[in-house]
């Protein structure tokens, strides 16, 4: 089945640093999504990307839908302590007129040192 390879698995950074994480796959996706999960909560959608090459920002977060449709990256600029959490990428494939299910990466655990 389809798999997403998300890297890195974990990051320990200093407050103020920029962060970059990415997801790759051997499959082509129609939609890429990035979620953040804080301790004790469910994943929350950060950014959704619907077109190859699309670059979308949400505050200090920027994500891109790779031109090959097989990858995506998420950047966080000037990290702050509340950025701590697990970030998941997710890809969606549409089969003809019907939507498949989201495929999730295994997550990137981000720790920010004040």
Partner 1 sequence: DADVTQTPRNRITKTGKRIMLECSQTKGHDRMYWYRQDPGLGLRLIYYSFDVKDINKGEISDGYSVSRQAQAKFSLSLESAIPNQTALYFCATSFPGYGYTFGSGTRLTVV
In angstroms, rounded to a whole number, what is the distance separating the alpha carbons of residues 15 and 108? 17
Q: Which residues are registered as beta bridge partners of 96?
A: none
Query: Least separation, in Å, of the C-beta of 23 and partner 1?
Result: 11
For residue 107, is the peptide bond before it cis, meaning its omega torsion is within 30 degrees of 0? Answer: no
Residue closer to partner 1 (CB basis): 8 or 16: 8
Give the footprint of partner 1 on this chain (CB under 8 A).
Answer: 1, 9, 31, 33, 35, 40-45, 48, 88, 90, 92, 94, 99, 101-102, 104-107
Residue closer to partner 1 (CB basis): 44 or 67: 44
Query: Least separation, in Å, of the C-beta of 16 and partner 1?
Result: 28
Residue closer to partner 1 (CB basis): 42 or 114: 42
> In 3D, which of 27, 45, 25 has the Cα closest to residue 35?
45
Query: Least separation, in Å, of the C-beta of 36 and partner 1?
Result: 11
Dihedral sign computed on CA atoms, order 68, 106, 22, 79: positive
Residue closer to partner 1 (CB basis): 17 or 94: 94
Task: Calculate the alpha carbon distances from 73 to 6, 34, 57, 83, 92 in Å.
Answer: 9, 9, 12, 16, 15
Query: Least separation, in Å, of the C-beta of 45 and partner 1?
Result: 5
């Amino acid at each position: 089945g389809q798999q997403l390879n998300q890297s890195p698995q974990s990051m320990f950074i200093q407050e103020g640093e920029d962060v970059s994480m990415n997801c790759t796959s051997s499959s082509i996706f129609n939609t890429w999504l990035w979620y953040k999960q804080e301790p004790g909560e469910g994943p929350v959608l950060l950014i959704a990307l619907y077109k190859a090459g699309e670059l979308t920002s949400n505050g200090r977060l920027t994500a891109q839908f790779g031109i090959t449709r097989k990858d995506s990256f998420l950047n966080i600029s000037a990290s702050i302590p509340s950025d701590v959490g697990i970030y998941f990428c997710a890809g969606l494939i549409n089969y003809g007129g019907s939507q498949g299910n989201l495929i999730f990466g295994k997550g990137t655990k981000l720790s920010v040192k004040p």
